[in-house]
Amino acid sequence: MPVKVGDTAPDFTLPSQNGTPVSLNNFRGKPVILYFYPKDDTPGCTAQSCAFRDQYEVFKTAGAEVIGVSGDSPESHQKFAAKYQLPFTLLSDKGDQVRKQYGATAAFGLIPGRVTYVIDPQGTVRYVFDSMFNFKGHVEEALKTLQQLQTA
């Protein structure tokens, strides 16, 4: 059953690009932009991650944390983050267990899905954006939702 708006975001612990375990619950009390993407250093994933990078200061100013998740290894994430100066955390979901838990599964039955979740400070999912090809839309929609949360 995919995670949807109004659900409590399932907690998880995964290794970051530095190998440090990171839990979603560590970020309670602040908004989290959690985005699942198919693979490091591919054209669409690079465009999406760089779009998050380019707006990262806006997210930080709003008090939000940006977290990217794919099945790649921490070492792959480390290279990807260094190559494109990604200032946020990338998590390694080997075996796609968290991806499956969230329902951000394969697009077209082949490629891991590209889904972004906006989670409020209490841990409730406020927005889900699922699009394989609208890379920048993930960032635009997350920012829009974050602004709505701030004015609510």
Q: How far is CA 33 from CA 108, 109, 116, in A?
A: 24, 25, 7
Assigned domain for 71 exists: yes
Assigned domain for 122 exists: yes
State the catalytic residue, choosing from 14, 22, 34, 45. Answer: 45
Catalytic-residue membership of 45: yes
From 36, 12, 14, select the one nearest 93 (Cα to Cα).
14
Q: What is the CATH number of the domain that holds 109?
A: 3.40.30.10
Q: What is the pLDDT of residue 102?
A: 95
* Model pLDDT for residues 24-76, shown as the tens digit of each residue: 999 999 999 999 999 999 999 999 999 999 999 999 999 999 999 999 999 99
Domain that holds residue 66: 13-151
Assigned domain for 87 exists: yes
Q: How far is CA 35 from CA 67, 88, 112, 151, 152, in A?
A: 6, 11, 12, 23, 23
| Total-model pTM | 0.94
Assigned domain for 1 exists: no
From 34, 38, 44, select the one nearest 116 (Cα to Cα).
34
Query: Between 32 and 109, whose confidence is greater?
Result: 32
Give the total number of structural domains in the chain.
1
Cα 150 versus chain centre, distance: 20
Which residues are CB-neighbours of 79 under 8 A, at least 6 positions away?
40, 41
Assigned domain for 21 exists: yes
Assigned domain for 99 exists: yes
What is the Cα–Cα distance from 134 to 114, expressed in whole angstroms? 9
Assigned domain for 5 exists: no
Assigned domain for 2 exists: no
What's the half-sphere exposure (Cβ side, CA atoms, 13 Å) at 76? 15
**Residue 107 — pLDDT band, cuts 50, 70, 90?**
low
